[in-house]
Chains A and B, each alone.
Chain A
């Protein structure tokens, strides 16, 4: 277990030094390439690609909606329960000393990423306030499936992430959406007030509170955070023999989880394949945004994670979840709060650009980034 090192300058210098080496080294690029191929040729991304391929050739794969929902429930419960169990062990051994820095770093990242995304979209991309804030809300939040894939990746690479990562996923889910929506709602209300002063049109009722409530009580948070608490409490208070069957079901040596993830990713591939046509509609800026901004956010996640004392797997996973964009919790919240935002832009960016990019290339890149900054 890598205990947190202090956020001191030597560590920062070392990280930057390592980063400087990466650009010039030919070895590095061949290592990244082999890491990318190794990741691509595993069942999870391949199932995703199969889904896309099937959609493109109008093939016949169909995942029943109820199965998709059931698997989503299992994945979220499993992430929460196993996370809660590991958190209880961590807490038992070290108290909160190993957790508070990564938790704080995650909260900071959750607050920074919607703002960087908004600034890039609004001022570099020239998008409207509502569109910028709507997309920023997606990128400020996180995707639990990207977490699951990243976690499987680091486990397969024999560098399992710190045990409390699911806690960080739940911390990251809400603030990004909240900040982007508050920002977007305030700025577009001001703009509307300026434009419509004197026209006498009735004001639209604000749905901000309702939308935020729905994000916080939505399925992903309720299941993940709820099972995290259940896993935590039952580990601390239950007889280990009685606890074991529950753990075996949810953890199942990763078997059930990874198999279910393959089916889930197949469905995600089918959905992403359907959205491929929208790539032409959204234009080159958003395509570039959907790749470059995750890399930027991912690097921030890896770097701050390292500063906060996460191990190699932990930094990789934090990079992946910070870079990922929400496509379950964010869309309804944005639709309610910023109805003038075009949902095609945000959904296409999150689901058809960033998600596939992260699954295929992003996660191994964050893994290499984590090595560069010196995580172990």
Chain B
């Protein structure tokens, strides 16, 4: 079994902006993404009040090439880091059938 080393981009934050980030991630070259509703608390949680019926926090993940990963991180930093309750990180992952997730 061959594993390919790729980047896992994880963005956790206010539900209200996650669709936009997912959509932009796909445009920047991701071949897919996963969203999960999660619970937690952070220093900016008080800002996350905007969805009807209470706050929702979403974890959004992409498995992508390093270049796409950096593009997604740059987009998140420029558009959302300043004012929203959001955190994003990169990690190395070894992926089965990984070549399918690189569209370059």
A interface residues (Cβ-Cβ under 8 A, vs B):
65, 68-69, 202, 204-205, 219, 271, 328, 331-332, 334-336, 339-340, 342-344, 347
Contacts and interface: CB of A to CB of B under 8 A. Distances in A.
B83 A332 contact: no
Given A339-B84, A344-B46, A271 B54 contact: yes
Contacts of B53: 65, 68-69
A347 B49 CA distance: 8
Contact of B49 (A336, A339, A343): A343
B79 to A, nearest CB: 6
Contacts of A205: 79
Contacts of A219: 52
Contacts of A336: 16-17
A68 B52 CA distance: 11
Interface string B25-65: 00000000000000000000011011111100000000000
20 contacts: A65-B53, A202-B78, A205-B79, A219-B52, A271-B54, A328-B52, A331-B49, A331-B51, A332-B50, A335-B16, A335-B47, A336-B17, A339-B83, A340-B82, A340-B83, A342-B47, A343-B46, A343-B49, A343-B50, A347-B49
Nearest to B80: A339
Given A205-B79, A339-B84, A340-B83, A334 B50 contact: yes
A65 B50 contact: no
A224 to B, nearest CB: 14
Nearest to B47: A343
> Is the contact region of chain B dominated by helix, strand, or loop, or is it mixed?
loop
Contacts of B79: 204-205
Most buried by A among B47, B50, B51, B83: B50
B13 to A, nearest CB: 12
Contacts of B47: 335, 342-344
B76 to A, nearest CB: 13
A205 B49 CA distance: 22
B50 A331 contact: yes
Interface in B62-104: 78-80, 82-84
A104 B17 CA distance: 36
B1 to A, nearest CB: 42
A259 B3 CA distance: 59
Contacts of A342: 47
Contacts of A335: 14, 16, 47, 50
Contacts of A65: 53-54
A46 to B, nearest CB: 23
